[in-house]
Structure 1
């Protein structure tokens, strides 16, 4: 009796906050998880310790060789079934004070990084005629937020990438979707100016922040077989803020 190779879930930015919760959720669903990290291996190893089957893998989404190596490692371990483009940065400022270098860096990580990783993952997924790509955007892409022009532009671009790619590969058994969180308490949101934090929290009719586990649950659903008929969708997890 032969056994099927393990299904691999590769998560960029998997070492903290939302990424860590996504890794734990996908591991609990039975995947072997590659916890992608850019610089903090110790944090990634802590996430690995929380998962039934996982491995830390260096994944700098701005470096094509690093991306290719991470996807190759997934192929060594099993069948790449899930890719979550979660790596992101937020360099917030009013547009008049935001120089081009800072703007470009935000797009390089948040948008170009998702392009590189999705592109690298497509061939093995298309050969298997099965795959789930889930991109982590933001409510800021849907309704904007003062001081977050670069971040909002990168995440809105990610939604456009998702919808076009979903149409390109829909007949190959690969779905591409977006989860758009509202305000989540993470190390990255801790760095937001007070005014930006209060503005985001004030948008939600629920009056509270979203938890990382709630975002992870949405990702887990879109990564599941039950979500096979859903592609090109944007799923807000925001306490109703995008209504």
Structure 2
């Protein structure tokens, strides 16, 4: 598009649109795919060093891949947030994809070759990451990169508004209600594993991730099973 002002207005219009069932951030991601030469877009938030969850995606496959990063504890979104800089991989099948030995094959199997992630931050505040997927390999052009940075700015300000007690803009309700439940379930499951296994919080979360990966689940699905007592990781019977 390469018209930053127009793109910003279009994205803000999507965020303000309250029609339909999709969340505002889902609509934003769909708009990103329409405006930029990419095939998938997602937005994830980071609540602390251990909890990361997507809150918007352009489609179910992109949402699943973004959530997979939390399950595996690796991926461009993690690196972008941790290093506070964009992660631009033009060909995931090349040497650059080797940094994510579990995540990269899953993305390639889903039909994507290029991945791009941008940290969402305001000053020292880390908010999350914007992820972009593309089926064909190749770098982002200068115009596309400029447009992506406009998306980053809009998404970061939107997420910052949702963290304020009295946000000035039309942002209340942008984050799905499921986000709070997701955090609660993961934290509750981590606490239960600490008791069951006699380990610390970090080790309990690692065990939860490992089980989710082995079982082909996301971490929230495994946490939900554990909280509902359909699952135990200490060898004891469920229930």
What is the TM-score of this pair, normalised by structure 1?
A: 0.27
